[in-house]
Structure 1
Amino acid sequence: MPKRPRSTKPRSPRKSGTYRALRKRLLEAEQTLQAIRSGEVDAIVVGGPGGDRVFTLAGADHDYRVLMDEMSEGVATLAKDGLVSYCNARFASILGLPAERIVGSTIFGILPSAAKERVAALLQAGLLTVSKGEFELGGEDGAVKTVLISVSKVAMDTGITQCVIATDLSEEKRREQEVAAERAERDAALRASEERYRQIVETAVEGIWLVDTDGRTTFANRALAEMLEYAPSDLRGQPIFDLMNEESAAAARRFLGRRRRYSELREFGFRAKSGREVWALLSMSPIEDHRGRYLGAVVMVSDVSDRRKLQAQLMLADRMSSLGTLSAGVAHEINNPLAYVIASLDLVADRLPEIASMLGREGGQFLEQQVQRAREGTDRVRKIVRDLKSFSRADEETVTVTDLVKSLNTSLTLVWNEIKHRARLVKDFDRLPPVRANEARLGQVFINLFVNAAQAMPEGNIEHNELRVVGRTDALGNAVVEIHDTGCGIPPDHLDRIFEPFFTTKPVGEGTGLGLAICHGIVTSLGGTLSVQETAVGKGTVFRVVLPAAKSTAESVHLAPRLVPRPKRRGRILVIDDEKDLTDVTREGLAGLHDVMTTQDARQALEWIGAGARFDLILCDMMMPLMTGMEFHMRLATLNPEQADRVVFMTGGAFTPRAREFLARLPNLRLEKPFDLGHVLSMVNAHLDIASRPASLGVGEEETHAVPS
């Protein structure tokens, strides 16, 4: 509206105020007309003497009606008494009724009776504020829908009206149910998967260990907990390093510190709750988040303690085998010089009266004492070597009639160093029946029992400690040996396990746990029993060995006779040994009663026999450098079988399997080194007495004591 030119004439106050009021009303009228023209208003409220009146513009609400009819929510308006004055098509669709039936009806007449009470409460609340509620509504088409009804108050020209907005939630509810069903299915599958994995983890033979970045336990399965003798909950929070020995803990820190992206394998030593050492093979794999940050590690744990014990036992068996071979070799090397030392002492002893007459009484007595002392010393050496040979034959399984008293004494001799600093030894087993056993295996049993008994008693308390070995024959004729010690005793909870392989209470490195198990197996294989007769912690233990007595003593070892009878005739003897001192002293010992030839080379002997020489006996060493006794006998058996039958093998220890097999196959006599001349003379004389005819000396006949060069 164009502005009017401002007047410059002065105006009166009355005229000025009237003008401003008229101008204001004119401006409002102009704005109203503009709003009507632009469709910004639907109705005009006009004040008058009878009050304000509302004038609705014709067609002004048409657009709004179209908009409501196209809405996705159902809309209806209700009068104060619940009469439906308007509803859009969507409202009718949601209720499943035609709009004509709805409009003009009360809301209570078109809703299910079950919903009427709640709808009434909702309408009442809607007079104060917006109120909502969900309803299950069924239409004439039979479909049941979940409907959200929202009621609000609206002031209109006809009075207070309530607007009802209905939203069909059926599809949303269906989707929610589908999503919930899918989620429930996924959750069930996840729970089933978790249960399967839990069962796999809990029933796994291997230990499964989860640790965080500091090496602290976040999870340990049952196998791991049992391996270390803990409850799984006890391990939670414990650093893995605290359960290891010192060396393994340092290595594990370096191991985990590298945080490799691939798994690594390594063995570590742990301490179980009881203090028992456990060796385990660990496979460590890192755990990382989606950004590659290190969160910890999963550790697979395999108990390899038994495998390590078995490896240690195999190494021990290998060392023992090597020691056995070494012992046999040492015995052989000692026996050769020892044989001629003993033989020389025997010769001196035989001539003592003659020598004493030349030395005088005092000189003769002195010489006799020294010879006797030397013979006692050599006898001790002979016994030690014999024990070494017995030890070296531990792999022989031949069972023979065995002198049990001798086996006990031999075993005690071998372990004396273990006993003498710990306890007094009391022996009470003079009379025991012989048993059928392998001498070396039986010795192994007693050695193990004696060592265990000794080690059960501390050193330095000899006057209070005692190891007593008692032997007797029970009512059934069995041989019974009991080993009593005053040591630490055996705890009751260990009694059922002491014969189990690998069970040991000794500190690490002092036992494999196989000794008693092996002993039990040996005794059982002999038809006997090994048991703990009695024990008390802090007081001692009694082990009992029961073995059936041998039915016959025909296989007992031959003892050298004290008296040597003179032969009925003079014999012809050949001595073959690479030790010249031994052949010389043997010749000296036999020369008084027999004609003797000696050589250090078996090939020379074959030449003599091939040239026609014959001998009543051929004493031949088994192990010689140029030609062994075995080779000599095989050649001689081809050359002259009758002379081969007259061979007596001298051996300081047949320590090769081939030599043992060879001797076991032949019926020829055997002479164990070191021997005394009395035993050799007895054997030669006994053989000559049963010989059918004398042998012809042949080559060298005129030189009865010749020593071939």
Structure 2
Amino acid sequence: MADKSITQQQLLAENAELRARLDEAEDTLRAIRSGEVDALIVSGVGGEQIFTLKGADQSYRVLIEEMNEGALTLTAEGVILYANRSFAGMLRMPLEKVLGSSIHTWIAPDSQTILQALLSKGVAEKRRDQLDLAASDGTRVPVYLSVNNLLADGMPDSFCLVATDLTEQKRGDAIVASDKLTRELLAVANQTRRELLSVVEDQRRAEESLRQLNAELENKVLARTADLEQANMDILRDMRKLKQTEDALRVSSLKYQMLFDSSRDALMTLTPPSWKFTGANQATLQLFGASSVAEFTALGPWDVSPERQPDGRPSSEKAQEMIATAMREGSFFFEWEHQHIGGQPFAADVLLTRMNLGENVFLQATVRDISEQVRIKADLEQARHDAEAANQAKSAFLASMSHEIRTPMNGVIGMIDVLQQSSLKPAQVEMANIIHDSAYSLLAIINDILDFSKIEAGKLQIDSLPMSVAEVVEGACETIDHMALKKNVELTLFTDPAIPAQVIGDPGRLRQILINLANNAIKFSSGQARQGKVSVRAVLVENSSHSIPVRPELVEGLDGSTGSPRTIDGGLEPVTLEFRVTDNGIGMDEATQARLFTAFTQADSSTTRIYGGTGLGLAISGQLANIMGGAITVHSEPGKGSLFSVRLSFALPTEKPDADAASSLVAGLSCLVVGDAESLADDLAAYLVHAGAMVERSPDIAAAHLRIASHPPGLCIVVIDTAAANPQLATSLLDGLRAAARARPNLDVRFVAIGRGQRREPRLEDADLVVVDGNALARKALLTAVAIAAGRAKQPDREALPDMVGARRAVPLSREEVRRQGRLILVAEDNEINQKVILQQLALLGQTADIANNGREALELWQSGDYAVLLADLHMPEMDGYELTAAIRAAETGKARKPIIAFTANALKGEVEHCLAIGMDDYLSKPVQLVNLKAMLEKWLPVAATAGNAGEQPRSPHDNAGHVPGFHPGYIAAAPVPVDVNVLKKLVGDDEEIIRDFLHDFRLSAEKIAVELRTACAAGQAAAAGALAHKLKSSARSVGALALGELCAAMEQAGKAGDMKALAVLLPGFEQELASVEGFLEGY
């Protein structure tokens, strides 16, 4: 029993001693936490162990060495104990010479007091300032210096300094450096935050472990199984771990604070639930204009923001939304309008980042002033807006100028058109032609400027329409053919027959490109000692479905040589075509080629002086090619000419176009094509092969002789390119071939001679000879010539040449007569000059019209119901053409619709679509040519109700037996001379030799037809007389014998009606007029 009591007492004593030691351990732990203990000596079974709790964390040494900022430690006396390489670099001094030296050695004299003040301030005070280092080479290095104390025994015994070099800070570099440093600081700060959180967690776990250990010790004491020695060691181990954790937390916190304070971006912290600022660095104070951290942390985000944000939302409401988003997402970047404490607003980029410190959650805000970027962006936006406004103003101005310029131009061109239909003396004809050409040149310049403006503004539209490439190329060449002849330039064309009959594209813009390029080629190849030559070619380059060329390219060199074409089977895949314009003109060097497609420039100033032009043509063509998905390339050498190539791709229509009738006319024919490499022979052969003819080639006349001698019996068509403008020369070349053919009785040889000149239609010169000129020779013209030679087609009547407007010089009917016929025209036009022009043109066409001075007046007149068609200008006072059309269409509900034709000088694209959309039926652009006006009226003006409704025409000396239906003697009275040669000149040009040739042929033909006509009338053969009159009618009109043409037209109608009485009445007038024409021709 006693032993048991003793044992119990011992246990109680041991327990009391253990509790005392536990209390001592807890006191020690508290001392460690407070930083009062530097080292800990632990005695145990293994002897004493000393644990050093104070020391530098080597894990950050490498980071300090790699810092761009200078870092160093000093003794209390200012001796440098440690410095990194960055600090030594600032001093331009090796690191080993810096260590051990006095810090005062490296401070500029006028900065010594700043350093001393930094070293003398208390631990709790902010110790940062800017001063200058004195480098070893004598230069001053401005730095931003931060000072911190290192404590020993609770007292500062040394200093830690961080120096930031400010020398190379420029605005752009500073921003970049700031971004980089900020990223580094934020990275380190984030790392520090993670370390801090880890340390806190470790501390919490250590404390939890300590509590558990205490419980276990008490349990062991109570259970009398505790091992006191082991318990002491466990407590000390946990205390050491806890101390290490606390040290790491303290170092990390210091590092984060240093980075936070030294950041050049404004950094601040916000904590819930008030979300007011709880911390801010120096950059924040500078940005917002706060004098101290205390002043700033008394505010919230809405206190440094205007009442409302730019979107109109209250700043306080929107700030809470931004904060909530950052807390939910972890981070959130947005633009914000802040304001200085003084009230001045500024734009900022804000990054909110959620941070967790144990159980504490807060936000770190990074704010950067972007006022300058916003200003620049606003300036750019304003500049863009101003540029768009300027473009719109320019487009409106050009449209207005177009209208204003075209209005007087309409007067000039319209009246010249009328004047040219009258009888003029040769000198007057020349002057009228000069006025006409000059007016259209000016009009072309206006159109170029408008096109360039639309291209520059990005408003040019490209159409997608089915088109024939051959027709576009031939039409373009036909347009410039007269210019080429005038400048003595030989213009030839070739359209690859392998090109599909139709493609999808913009025929107008393609034609514009070709005319621009060909005009330049003609301009720069004329006026030389050698014959100017220009070639326009369209060839099939490749079929996109194969991705490889499907035919050899027909490359025409500067010498005019060509390759041999071959055909391919077409498909529905897009095709690539190349358009080539070649000339033998002055050529260009590379420097000139480099600026060819720049607007308003030419080769040099001398080019402009010699050749003229605005310099817009090529610029517009280049832009059009680009918009159409292609490009223009140029190859040229000075003195050797130029080659312009335009490569474009076209889609194909799904519907197959009708076959070419002209091609079937020569299918199966045996043809021999004669000509050397510089002639058109290769192109002629390509046309014939594609049309189904069997073609052989002979390079010269000698080879052709041999081939004719060995040719199989039957029909043979010899096509020879004489390359000569003299028909007699062509005939002489053929004489030998004809002799060779005559030696072969069983061989029927016929000839097609390709000369040079103005004959654009085939002409049967002899029973075995058809002549056509190679200038701008269309494929259809060649095939027709061969078909005529083979007897498969008839020669086109020369009377079938286009009817000239001048042939209709009628005396207009009275207004009442026209109204009864339902053909009265109403013209709505406010310009007095334009009124006179249109009335003159209509009178020349035998039409009658009323004039309305504005849209409102026109509406009142139109409501009378007297008018068959309305020509309406679009821009008029009181009521414009659009409003007038809308009013008329609204009033027509339930009534018959009558045609309205727009009549304006506004040339902007889209006008036609607008006119049609509001109810107009067609469109005429001023200045209007007579031929276009005539075609428009023929399209829309109704024919007279009945022949009986037509009012009687003014009687003339030819109307001796009363009225003859269909005959208008007024036409004869209006003709001042029997033959107006100007009409023929408009058809064939001004070449007097050609004119005489045509007039001579007409006289012979007229004499022959007149004999046959008299015979038919005498025999009572009305139908035959009518047919003969028809044959003479158009040829008379074409040469300018207008009165004779009208008499023939009346006799034609009488013959068709079987009215011999009318023929008998008309015949004397016909004889009289024919005698007048013959008398005129004899004296011409």
TM-score class normalised by the smaller sequence:
0.3 to 0.5
Q: TM-score, normalised by structure 1?
A: 0.40
Larger Cα-atom Rg: 1
Structure ranking higher on relative contact order (CA contacts 8 Å, 6+ apart): 1
Q: Which has the higher helix share?
A: 2
Q: TM-score, normalised by structure 2?
A: 0.28
